[in-house]
Amino acid sequence: MNYHWNWGVFFQEIPGGGEYYWELMVAGIGWTLAVSACAWVIALALGSVIGTIRTTTNPWLVLLAKTWVEVFRNIPLLVQMFLWYFVAPELIPPLKRWVIQVDPGTAQFLAAIVCLGLFTSARIAEQVRAGIQSLSTGQRYAGMALGLTPTQVYRHVLLPMAFRIVIPPLTSESMNLIKNSSIALTIGLAELTFRAREMGEYTFNFFEAFTAATLIYIVIAMTANRVMATIERKTAVPGFIAGGSR
């Protein structure tokens, strides 16, 4: 293949910027991590609530939770990103007035974390629901027999176990979220993949930039995996297989 590798390109200066290309990539990593972290908080909070609601006995709440999951699961993430960034401000005039005033970066960041947060919340909700439903009904009854209110049963009996059970699927969901954050480049957010392509376009050293981005994603994914494994080990309840070693 006719391709001239030049790994020194990362230490070249960006024309007219006074910065180096490696700094461009590092800035990209920062955005990728910031978007993923904020979206993860939203996703975990909403996903837990929606997933828990689906296991309650109130038919309206269950329907609401089901609809939530279906809506976010059946529209491509890219289209959802466009809906939050381009369509939402048009439909909500106060939001539009605000968006026009702020820095475009802020608007992109907010749209991205709301979009990724809600999308991931639907997926986490399904896992939380599965986690709660995997517990034997005896646990719920035992809680009620002790005189706990439904809220207390969830708070002290069901959820503490369910959350431990869903840690492994939550791990893969977190890694999906980090990968999905790259879709924010379509609304102009300068995260890692965006920066890799930009660097390729400036220097024509596409493959060096993509290799660097690939390696960084692998490192981030492995780190997230380790962190979740540590949490799983630290929170394991002795005597249960779920939340075991690794």
- Count of alpha carbons within 13 Å of 179, Cβ hemisphere only? 11
Q: Choose between 71 and 237: whose C-beta lies nearer to other proteins.
A: 71
Closest separation in Å from C-beta 178 to other proteins: 8
CA–CA dist 210, 61 (Å, integer): 45
- Yes or no: say if 42 and 121 are a contact pair by the CB < 8 Å rule: yes
Please select the residue that binds other proteins; options are 22, 139, 179, 229, rule is CB under 8 A.
Answer: 179
CA–CA dist 149, 151 (Å, integer): 5
CA–CA dist 188, 122 (Å, integer): 25
Please select the residue that binds other proteins; options are 207, 231, 236, 242, rule is CB under 8 A.
Answer: 207
Type of residue at 114: V
Binding positions for other proteins, 109-168, rule CB under 8 A: none
Quick note: the x/- pattern for other proteins over 31-70, rule CB under 8 A, is ---------------------------------------x
Residue 200 binds other proteins (CB under 8 A): yes
Size of the site for other proteins (CB under 8 A): 40
Type of residue at 147: G
Residue 100 binds other proteins (CB under 8 A): no
- Count of alpha carbons within 13 Å of 244, Cβ hemisphere only? 5
Please select the residue that binds other proteins; options are 78, 102, 146, 227, rule is CB under 8 A.
Answer: 78
Please report, to the nearest 10 degrees, the dihedral formed by the alpha carbons of residues 165, 34, 188, 96 taken in order: 90
Three-state SS at 27: helix
Please select the residue that binds other proteins; options are 26, 45, 71, 237, rule is CB under 8 A.
Answer: 71
Tokens 């493959």 belong to residue: 207
Residue 98 binds other proteins (CB under 8 A): no
Q: How many other CB atoms are found less than 10 A from the CB of residue 246?
A: 9
Please select the residue that binds other proteins; options are 3, 5, 141, 240, rule is CB under 8 A.
Answer: 3
Closest separation in Å from C-beta 2 to other proteins: 7
Closest separation in Å from C-beta 146 to other proteins: 36
Please select the residue that binds other proteins; options are 213, 228, 232, 243, rule is CB under 8 A.
Answer: 213
* 89, two tokens: 């401000």
Alpha helices (H) in the chain, listed in sequence order: 21-54, 59-73, 77-82, 88-91, 93-101, 104-133, 137-145, 150-152, 159-165, 167-180, 192-203, 206-235
Residue 92 binds other proteins (CB under 8 A): no
Binding region for other proteins (CB under 8 A)? 1-3, 70-71, 73-80, 82-83, 86-87, 90-91, 175, 179-183, 185-186, 193, 196-197, 200, 206-207, 210, 213-214, 217-218, 221-222
